[in-house]
Amino acid sequence: MTERLDRRGFGLRLTAGLASLLLSGCGDEVSERPWVRHLLDKAEDMNYWLQRQLLPHHALAREYDEADLSPQFRANGSTDPEDEDYRRLAANDFADWRLEVAGLVERPQRFSLADLRTLPSRTQITRHDCVEGWSCIGKWTGTPLAALLQRVGVRPEARFVMFHCADTISVDRYYESIGLGDAFHPQTILAYDMNGAPLSVAHGAPLRVRVERQLGYKMAKYVMAIELVESFSHIGRGHGGFWEDRGYEWYAGI
């Protein structure tokens, strides 16, 4: 087991080091140069392959006790979306909010928060690891994404789950994506409660993603719609997420 972990650590350090070397001190225009993008994609492919080889498919992220909860949980990313539709929904405690689930599904549906709370739920106390280097432990309750996907029916050609969000950074709307393997992982949930209370706006109300085996930028906040797709090349800049479009790895496994 030690040898497996050592090899995993080496692979992750190698790919992270390559990405850091290429991106340090560089803006978006550098990460979009074809040769840089090609090297980043190859490094990411290696990272993804190593993760899948060295970790069991349904290996669980560590879960903690109530006593381990962070006294203050730092909010990552956006903390107060300026979108007018979102603010109207927030002013009414999200009573009119609906999660649209569409794309490559058999039965497209829309869910209210009340609808989601009637579905099976999972509570987990896990550590949030930010790419900026900080970590916090929080308690999350929500609908397992697998339960939602089973309800709508995933079509055979679907490969990725896209999360479309209400927040905008600079001029681009935030979005994220994960593969179906992570979508059906037991710890991947659509969280509506944090530390025993409904999510605050700063922490992504009314719904955020928890993908516990990946870094924090994968855990999209302010989720408005979920879309099943065969490819994300036509969405955003085509790399699967807001930060991925700017050079971050698509698979941010930890």
- The secondary structure of 38-63 as a DSSP string is HHHHHHHHHHHHHHHHHS-TTPPPP-
- Residue 87 shares a structural domain with residue 211: yes
Instruction: Give the pLDDT band of residue 240 (cuts 50, 70, 90).
Output: very high
- Residue 114 shares a structural domain with residue 29: no
- Residue 50 shares a structural domain with residue 72: no
Q: Answer whether residue 129 is part of any domain.
A: yes
Select from 20, 36, 55 the last residue of a domain.
55
Mean pLDDT of 96-115: 98
Amino acid at 45: D
Q: Residue 13: what pLDDT?
A: 45
Q: Answer whether residue 251 is part of any domain.
A: no
Q: Answer whether residue 227 is part of any domain.
A: yes
Q: Answer whether residue 144 is part of any domain.
A: yes
- Residue 24 shares a structural domain with residue 67: no
- Residue 69 shares a structural domain with residue 20: no
Q: Answer whether residue 88 is part of any domain.
A: yes
Q: Answer whether residue 36 is part of any domain.
A: yes
Q: Residue 117: what pLDDT?
A: 98
Instruction: Give the pLDDT band of residue 25 (cuts 50, 70, 90).
Output: very low
Would you call 35 helix, strand, or coil by DSSP? Answer: helix
Could you give the number of structural domains in the chain? 2
Token readout for 202 is: 């700063």
Pairing type for strands 99-103 and 223-229 reads parallel
Token readout for 147 is: 């339960």
- Residue 68 shares a structural domain with residue 51: no
Distance between CA atoms of residues 33 and 193, nearest Å: 41
Task: Mark out the alpha helices in the chain (DSSP H runs).
Answer: 2-23, 28-31, 34-54, 84-91, 113-118, 145-152, 180-183
Select from 12, 31, 55 the last residue of a domain.
55
Q: Residue 35: what pLDDT?
A: 55
Question: Beta-carbon neighbour count of residue 66 at 10 Å?
Answer: 10
Judge whether residue 55 has pLDDT over 90. Answer: no
Tokens 């870094």 sit on residue: 215
Average pLDDT of the residues of the chain: 86
pLDDT tens, residue by residue, 11-21: 444 444 444 44
The strand order across the sheet containing 99-103 reads 109-111, 99-103, 223-229, 160-169, 172-179
Q: Answer whether residue 102 is part of any domain.
A: yes
Q: Residue 47: what pLDDT?
A: 52
Instruction: Give the pLDDT band of residue 58 (cuts 50, 70, 90).
Output: confident
- Residue 46 shares a structural domain with residue 69: no
- Residue 186 shares a structural domain with residue 84: yes
8 A C-beta contact, residue 99 and residue 166? no
**CA nearest 253: which of 207, 209, 203, 217?**
217
8 A C-beta contact, residue 252 and residue 214? yes
- Residue 229 shares a structural domain with residue 103: yes
8 A C-beta contact, residue 147 and residue 233? no
**Domain hosting residue 92, numbered range:** 60-246
Q: Answer whether residue 254 is part of any domain.
A: no
Select from 55, 81, 99 the last residue of a domain.
55
Judge whether residue 41 has pLDDT over 50. Answer: yes
- Residue 134 shares a structural domain with residue 210: yes
Q: What percent of the chain has pLDDT over 90?
A: 76
- Residue 235 shares a structural domain with residue 155: yes
- Residue 143 shares a structural domain with residue 201: yes
Which CATH number belongs to the domain containing residue 204 in this structure? 3.90.420.10
